[in-house]
Amino acid sequence: MMKHYSNRMVLIHWLTLALLVAAWFLGDSLAEATDDSNATISGYLVHGLAGGAVFLLTVARLFFRSKDGVPAPIGDSPMDKLAKGVHHLLYTVLFVLPVSGMITIVTSDAGKALLSGDASLLPKDGGYDEVFAHEAHEFMVNVLIVVVVVHVLGALKHQFIMKDGLMERMLPRRK
């Protein structure tokens, strides 16, 4: 029988997904509000907290990978190597995306607004035009979407075409 990920790794995986979806919707709403000059301090804080939680969960996940171990790869084909590369890219994006968000806050007027609690200082439409970290943040969101789609397609291929039970490794187990 195939070895599973530890229950805490499974929990972190699905919590990360939920927070990523929340952060994406919050970020999209925040971008729209910024364009309409209606952004709020709370909007920035909630989006930032979701992103910060993703970062912390990614750190925890890497820590628990080293403690708990991971299931052995299914094979050594070019597709298996591609899957490993997709996972490495996913971890990289899960680090860079929140960091680029933090740097955006520090290097833009958003940081001043958050520190003072004054929403009138928040960037308005075009307020991030000269903020490289914000451009990187938006780019990394697009990279994340592509990588997640490839990840999900690979999982679905294993589940419905190969029927090898791979997806069971990322489901909670009873003791």
Note the pLDDT tens digit of each residue in 8-43: 999 999 999 999 999 999 999 999 999 999 999 999
Please write the tens of the pLDDT for every residue from 152-174: 999 999 999 999 988 999 999 88
pLDDT at 72: 86
Contacts of 102 (CB under 8 A, 6+ apart): 48, 51, 52
The one-letter amino acid code at 96 reads V
Confidence of residue 2 (pLDDT cuts 50, 70, 90): low
Q: Does residue 1 carry a pLDDT above 60?
A: no
The model's pTM: 0.93
68 token code pair: 């708990």
Q: What are phi and psi of 34, to 5 degrees?
A: -65, -45
Contact status, residue 90 vs residue 147, Cβ threshold 8 Å? yes
Task: Please give the single-letter amino acid code of residue 77.
Answer: S
Report whether pLDDT(3) > 90. no
Give the pLDDT confidence score for residue 73 in this predicted structure: 85
pLDDT, residue 173, reads: 87
In tens, the pLDDT along 45-99 reads 999 999 999 999 999 999 999 999 999 888 899 999 999 999 999 999 999 999 9
